Amino acid sequence: MVRSLLSIDWDYFIPLKREWLNSYAETPKNIEWIWNKRYIESALKGNDLEKSVDVAVPLKNFWNKIKEHFNFAESIKVYVSESHMLSYYIAITNKCEEVYSFDAHTDLGYAGINSVNFGLNCANWLGKLLNEEKIKKAHIIYSPYTFEKPDNFRDFNNLFSIQYYRNINVLPQGIYIVAIHICRSGAWTPPWLDNKFEEFIKNLNLPYKVIKLYKRDWNVKKLSFSDLIFYLNFV
């Protein structure tokens, strides 16, 4: 059986704003502070981000749907982290031959094929696995709310075996999964949805290991006037 990694980015479920889709170092500033800035700037325009940005892909039956297509190994390992970059190490450690990635981004690399020559990061981990021949094939299941298209990655598509999907229903059945990675990608997913993220993980009903998941304290009501000035000037 082909050993595969099931890798799920929390941003798969959330319709993000195009102006947020920049490249960010996954630091506390970009994981937490940036959301205060976004919220305040939106509030000044009369918009409440907590009400307008929410989970849009149904969570209730997601794991049941997953199990229609994926067979979990008896000794399956589950990891939860902040960064999607961890999938690189999980795939290698668990000797995976293929990766199934549910994401709003390809994470192949965003500067053409030269991206694989950059240091390992959350934006090129999948491209590196392919380029280094650590895996044989990548399957990217795009979020319904992605801004990306397969044609954006023609150089990768010409060199490696990559398949793109827009719907989980078109996946074959019986895909053998030896490891699952769920990442939060906090620079792209808002802290007011962290409780739903935790609930999503628990609904898998499998033991899991948490690796470098930053604890965010979201309470905009406690911000002082000086805090508002700080975050408005924060870049």
Give the count of domains, the chain. Answer: 1
Quick check: 235 pLDDT over 60? no
**What is the pLDDT confidence band of residue 23, given thresholds at 50, 70 and 90?**
low
User: How many C-beta atoms lie closer than 10 Å to residue 172's C-beta?
Assistant: 8
Across the chain, mean pLDDT equals: 91
- Tokens 């319709």 correspond to 15
Looking at per-residue confidence, does 19 or 214 come out higher? 214
Q: Does the CA dihedral 57-62-68-72 come out positive or negative? A: positive
What pLDDT sits at residue 231? Answer: 66
Mean pLDDT of 118-130: 94
Least confident of 50-54, 91-95, 155-159: 50-54
Give the separation between CA 107 and CA 128, rounded to whole angstroms. 9
Residue 106, C-beta contacts closer than 8 angstroms, at least 6 positions apart: 126, 140, 148, 152, 153, 156
Query: For tokens 């090129």, what's the residue?
Result: 124
The predicted-structure confidence for 52-73, as pLDDT tens digits, reads as follows 899 998 898 999 999 999 999 9
With beta carbons less than 8 A apart as the criterion, state whether 127 and 161 touch. no
Coil, strand or helix at 75: strand
Its pTM stands at: 0.92
pLDDT at 171 over 90: yes
CB atoms within 10 A of CB 187: 22
Give me the percent of the chain exceeding a pLDDT of 90: 69
**Under a CB-based contact definition with an 8 Å cutoff, are residues 16 and 188 in contact?**
yes
pLDDT of residue 49: 86
pLDDT at residue number 13: 96
Structural domain that includes position 70: 4-232
More confident residue, 207 or 45: 207
Q: Determine which of 8-17, 21-30, 50-59, 193-202 has the lowest per-residue pLDDT on average.
A: 21-30
Of all residues in the chain, the percent with pLDDT exceeding 70 is 92
Strand partners, 210: 80
Q: Where are the strands (E) in the chain, listed by range?
A: 4-9, 70-81, 98-103, 137-142, 162-165, 175-183, 209-211
